[in-house]
Amino acid sequence: MRLRGTSRINERGHLEIGGCDVTELARVYGTPLYIYDEALIRQKCREFVDAFRSSGVPFQVAYASKAFCTMAMCRVVAEEGLSLDVVSEGELYTALRAGFPPERIHFHGNNKSPDEIDMAVGARVGCFVVDNFYEMEVLCDVARRRGVKVRVLLRVAPGVEAHTHEYVMTGQTDTKFGFDLESGAADRALEEAARMETMEVVGVHAHIGSQIFETAGFRATAEKLGQLAARARERTGVTFSVVNVGGGFGIRYTEEDRPLAVSDYIRAVTDAVRTAFGRIEGYPLPEVWVEPGRSVVGEAGTALYTIGSWKEIPGIRRYVAVDGGMADNPRPALYGARYEAILANRANEPADTVVTVAGKCCESGDMLIRDCRLPDPRPGDLLAVFCSGAYQYSMASNYNRLRRPAVVFVRDGAADVVVKRETLDDVVGNDVLPERLKGRGPA
Ligand code: PLP
Q: Which of 244, 177, 178 is nearest to 205 (CA)?
A: 244
Evaluate: CB of 109 within 6 angstroms of ligand 1: no
Evaluate: CB of 246 within 6 angstroms of ligand 1: yes
Interval between CA 13 and ligand 1 midpoint (Å): 37
Evaluate: CB of 67 within 6 angstroms of ligand 1: yes
- Cα–Cα distance measured from residue 443 to residue 172, given in angstroms and rounded to the nearest whole number: 54
* Predicted model pTM: 0.96
Evaluate: CB of 86 within 6 angstroms of ligand 1: no
Evaluate: CB of 249 within 6 angstroms of ligand 1: yes
- Cα–Cα distance measured from residue 43 to residue 280, given in angstroms and rounded to the nearest whole number: 36
- Cα–Cα distance measured from residue 30 to residue 48, given in angstroms and rounded to the nearest whole number: 34
Given the residues 45, 69, 74, 362, the one annotated as active site = 362
Residues 272/278/279/280 CA torsion (nearest 10 deg): 120
- Across 394-418, b (16+ Cβ under 10 Å) vs e yields bbbeebeebbbbbbbbbbeeebeeb
Counting atoms of ligand 1 from 1, which one is nearest the CA of 390? Answer: 14
Counting atoms of ligand 1 from 1, which one is nearest the CA of 212? Answer: 15
Q: What are phi and psi of 415, to 5 degrees?
A: -120, 135
Interval between CA 289 and ligand 1 midpoint (Å): 13
- Cα–Cα distance measured from residue 44 to residue 327, given in angstroms and rounded to the nearest whole number: 27
362 is known as an active-site residue = yes
Counting atoms of ligand 1 from 1, which one is nearest the CA of 247? Answer: 16
pLDDT reported for residue 435:
93
Residues 389/390/391/397 CA torsion (nearest 10 deg): 20
Interval between CA 168 and ligand 1 midpoint (Å): 9
pLDDT reported for residue 439:
80
Evaluate: CB of 293 within 6 angstroms of ligand 1: yes
Evaluate: CB of 64 within 6 angstroms of ligand 1: yes
Evaluate: CB of 155 within 6 angstroms of ligand 1: no
Burial category of 442 from C-beta neighbours within 10 Å (exposed 0-12, middle 13-18, buried 19 and up) = exposed
Interval between CA 177 and ligand 1 midpoint (Å): 12
39 and 76 in contact (C-beta within 8 Å)? no
Cα 407 from chain centroid (whole Å):
16
- β-partners of residue 212 are 249
Evaluate: CB of 226 within 6 angstroms of ligand 1: no
Interval between CA 293 and ligand 1 midpoint (Å): 6
pLDDT reported for residue 1:
76
Interval between CA 296 and ligand 1 midpoint (Å): 11
Other beta carbons within 10 angstroms of residue 79's beta carbon come to 10
Counting atoms of ligand 1 from 1, which one is nearest the CA of 170? Answer: 5
pLDDT reported for residue 441:
67
- β-partners of residue 205 are 155, 244
Opening angle at CA 168, ends 164 and 173, nearest 5: 90
pLDDT reported for residue 171:
66
Interval between CA 395 and ligand 1 midpoint (Å): 14
Tens-binned pLDDT, residue by residue, of the chain (443 aa): 789 999 999 999 999 999 999 999 999 999 999 999 999 999 999 999 999 999 999 999 999 999 999 999 999 999 999 999 999 999 999 999 999 999 999 999 999 999 999 999 999 999 999 999 999 999 999 999 999 999 999 999 999 977 665 555 566 778 899 999 999 999 999 999 999 999 999 999 999 999 999 999 999 999 999 999 999 999 999 999 999 999 999 999 999 999 999 999 999 999 999 999 999 999 999 999 999 999 999 999 999 999 999 999 999 999 999 999 999 999 999 999 999 999 999 999 999 999 999 999 999 999 999 999 999 999 999 999 999 999 999 999 999 999 999 999 999 999 999 999 999 999 999 999 999 999 866 65
pLDDT reported for residue 300:
98
Interstrand relation of 83-86 and 105-107 (parallel, antiparallel or unpaired): parallel
- Residue closest via CA to ligand 1's atom 15 equals 248
Other beta carbons within 10 angstroms of residue 125's beta carbon come to 24
- Cα–Cα distance measured from residue 110 to residue 129, given in angstroms and rounded to the nearest whole number: 9
